[in-house]
Amino acid sequence: MSITRILCSLAWLLTIVTSSAQTTPYKIFLIGDAGDDEMTTQTLDSLHSIISRNPNSAVFFLGDNSYRNALNGLMPFGYKGFDSSAETQSKVRSQLAIMSGYKGAAYFVPGNHDWWNIMNFKRGRPKLKMEENFIEQNLALNTTIQNPGNTYMPKNGTPGPEAVELNNGKIKVIAIDTYWLIMLQFKQNPAENRAYEKVFYHNLDSLLADGTAKKQKIMIVCHHPVYYQRYRNPPPIWMVPARIGMSDLSFPSYKRMSAQINDILKKYPGVYFAAGHMHAIQYHYTGNIHHIISGAGSRLIHVPAKKAAQTPANTANDCIFWNDKGFFEVAFYPDHENITIYHDEGRQKTDLSTLSGGEIKSHNYDNLPCR
């Protein structure tokens, strides 16, 4: 074979490899509030099946990674998280198990239950750290994931923001601990609170500005959404204990956190804000920001069928599933992204790009009806 023919063959192979790399997306999978099942359920099994076929990816668990009911179920609401009991170990292992053989990256972020809904940093941090150590130590033994032993974000009960770059630096994911920010209200020194907030929000803004300057795709992952749809109004704050009220967007410190984050997000159109907390599946595109709520990993808000069937006020940009478990997939291509919702325990999927009549372009997210 002549040198010219060899060079032409190599050029042809390089073209094929380059073309394949350009059309193969990097996928991020998002599932939250998956900590209530001691066995790996259909929802997690479905996620395992999908991520196993997509090694060029990362999966993020969006908080409330373990639940344990208060007083062994004698109270009408649960508030504990991971306590290293056999029950809570099983609940966390049910999530760790789906990473068996997975060749992508895996991350966990904390939620209010992982802090045990405690309103005091000193008391809550050891509870959170117990869960962090258990997850990190177990995933350090995983021989296939890309980031063994470095899977909990932010670390050590700090608020973040903590960033990781994926897909050869093309994607920046920023993890924040929203419950840490909500707890600030219960510190005794208001001036100190403002100082903590100032540093946090400055650092968050800086990371977003850096990612924008580098033309990276940016996603923020956390537990509490800063925009979502309710199916009914909450009771007045004075009627509920503070540890319960703190989990609602109308609670003063939650409301303050949301307002400050949304003010920053206005400067960075196209950012994905992914959270759990609401035990439902929601997608909203508002203010040029993609709000993903993926909080139906193991728990659901049971909404009456008639109410669940009602479309939200802004139907063009909203997608809501109340009574289905599931998770999200965001596929990042070089020139666009596709968002897919896997729901009804993974047996169905809603591809928002298909519903909009074609691929979702990163600069055009109009007319995205859910059904």
Percent of the chain whose pLDDT exceeds 90: 55
Residue pLDDT, tens place only, 82-105: 999 999 999 999 999 999 999 999
Query: What would the 3-class secondary structure string for the chain be?
Result: CCHHHHHHHHHHHHHHHHHHHHHCCEEEEEECCCCCCCCCCHHHHHHHHHHHCCCCEEEEECCCCCCECHHHHCCCCCCECCCCCHHHHHHHHHHHHHHCCCCCEEEECCCCCCCCCCCCHHHHHHHHHHHHHHHHHHHCCCCCCCCCCCCECCCCCCCCCEEEEECCCCEEEEECCHHHHHHHHHCCCHHHHHHHHHHHHHHHHHHHHHHHHCCCEEEEECCCCCCCCCCCCCCCHHHCCHHHHCCCCCCHHHHHHHHHHHHHHCCCCCCEEEECCCCCEEEEEECCEEEEEECCCCCCCCCCHHHHHCCCCCCCCEEEECCCCEEEEEEECCCEEEEEEEECCCCEEEEHHHHCCCCCECCECCCCCCC
Percent of the chain whose pLDDT exceeds 70: 78
With a cut of 50, say whether residue 358 has pLDDT above it: no
Give the relative orientation of helices 190-213 and 252-265 as an angle to the nearest 10 degrees.
30
pLDDT given for residue 346 in this prediction: 59
pLDDT given for residue 16 in this prediction: 43
pLDDT given for residue 315 in this prediction: 56
- Of 3-7, 118-122, 348-352, highest mean pLDDT: 118-122
With a cut of 80, say whether residue 347 has pLDDT above it: no
pLDDT given for residue 240 in this prediction: 54
pLDDT given for residue 71 in this prediction: 57
* Lowest pLDDT segment from 22-36, 103-117, 196-210: 22-36
Residue pLDDT, tens place only, 264-281: 999 999 999 999 999 999
With a cut of 80, say whether residue 334 has pLDDT above it: yes
Residue pLDDT, tens place only, 33-84: 998 888 778 899 999 999 999 999 999 999 999 998 765 544 545 578 999 9
pLDDT given for residue 369 in this prediction: 46
- Of 115-119, 165-169, 249-253, highest mean pLDDT: 165-169
**Mean pLDDT score of the chain:** 83
With a cut of 60, say whether residue 260 has pLDDT above it: yes
Confidence at 185, pLDDT banded by 50, 70, 90: confident
Confidence at 320, pLDDT banded by 50, 70, 90: confident
With a cut of 90, say whether residue 136 has pLDDT above it: yes
The mean pLDDT of 193-219, rounded to a whole number, is 94
Confidence at 6, pLDDT banded by 50, 70, 90: very low
With a cut of 90, say whether residue 261 has pLDDT above it: yes
What pTM did the predictor assign? 0.87
pLDDT given for residue 25 in this prediction: 94
